[in-house]
Structure 1
Amino acid sequence: MVRIEDLTFGYGADGFRLRVPEFSLEDGARVAVVGPSGSGKTTLLNLIAGILTPETGRIDVAGSEISRLSDAARRRFRASQIGFVFQDFALLEYLSARQNIYYPYRITPALTLDVEARDRAEALAAACGIGDKLDRHPSALSQGEQQRVAICRALVTQPKLILSDEATGNLDPESKARILDLLFDRAAEAGAAVLAVTHDHELLPRFERVLDFAQFREGAGS
């Protein structure tokens, strides 16, 4: 699903530096990423998703060398192939929760917002406990509810790769377990891989593999 070779990335000449000689994520795998703040965990997710591009090296995702695609092609690829749960949720305030979940369909002509997709969105919202809040805008939702909207948006297109940046960080223990079950169940249905950044070490036994990201950081950064 993901293969990285000889990747380097940096923020400015004297700032944060990241080097990943090699990394792979198999189809259907469940991998947790841990490491200290500033070690580059979120940067790695952004590189895999094509939000950032490496200075050198190669990133293949689902058979495509995403690091060589144009900006527009990367956006289309990300919307159709990758479900991304952002740490800051990245919800649009002018859209309702339902419309935020539909958002990948609004920006990608290759995706069709048909009855099946709408039903899937409703089912995901119900499973996340926000089925009665879909007409509310983000400012009218709690942080935990906003997070669940972001999770539904990431899953609704049935992506082949799910990237999760602290997807359960604002949830109580019971909700964390339920959301992780939802992520894993939906990933299994679609044969999708899950790569999840987390600081919650109690969740690590749920994953097949744990990657300590401190090994990839070079130099100073925040």
Structure 2
Amino acid sequence: MARDEVFLETKFWISDYGYDAALHAFDKSAGKLGVDQLDLVLLHQPLSSRFDLTLDAYRALEKLLTDGKVRAIGVSNFMPEHLERLLAETSVVPAVNQIELHPHFQQTALQMLHAEHGILPQAWSPIGGITSYGGGEKSTFDDPALLEIARAHAKSVAQVMLRWHVQEGRSVIPKSTKAARIAENFDVFDFELSSEQLAAIDALDTGVRGGPDPDSITLDNYGMAIPEA
């Protein structure tokens, strides 16, 4: 497969925040992948306890973008307060904010901020897999409203959720190690949810986060050495 047929996206961990450290993180990531250019690089977390390091790391991403070593830059798990500070103190608007986003946790205020600044939301756990083990009140896969919509289209609940994201203009990165499930996740372009069905899914938000609170991620409890290439 030709390089231009593959989109390479990666993230820099908090241990590699700071200007010089983030520049070196690029060398490590590109070296492991065997490429000279990455398509999209994100900061994995807003390091709230050392946001100065977060800002310096993002400025390093801006340098990589200017030098043509990356084609786009962005962030991950940034909440409104993190995004607003980043936007105030740096020059390049993030192309992407990769966040937990599924029918049971929709982060509407954050999505509105994305729309205001032209930031593409990219959903991790887009089908709510984290609700199966992350302490949520119930799993998205057992949600009666989603099951009813899935039956109406002869599709799986996962396909309905992915189609919901696509129709509402979000990027999604579902995760699976099973070939059949990966193929199923791609098979969402032969049906369309009605406006009523989209509204029904929009109404399922519980406000319950499955993953960790971004502000709980610190160097003390999550710092780790990232191996060299």
Task: Decide which structure has greater helix share.
Answer: 2
**TM over 0.5, shorter chain:** no
**TM-score class, shorter:** 0.3 to 0.5
Taking structure 2 as the reference length, the TM-score comes to 0.32
Taking structure 1 as the reference length, the TM-score comes to 0.33
Larger radius of gyration, structure 1 or 2? 2
Task: Decide which structure has greater strand share.
Answer: 1
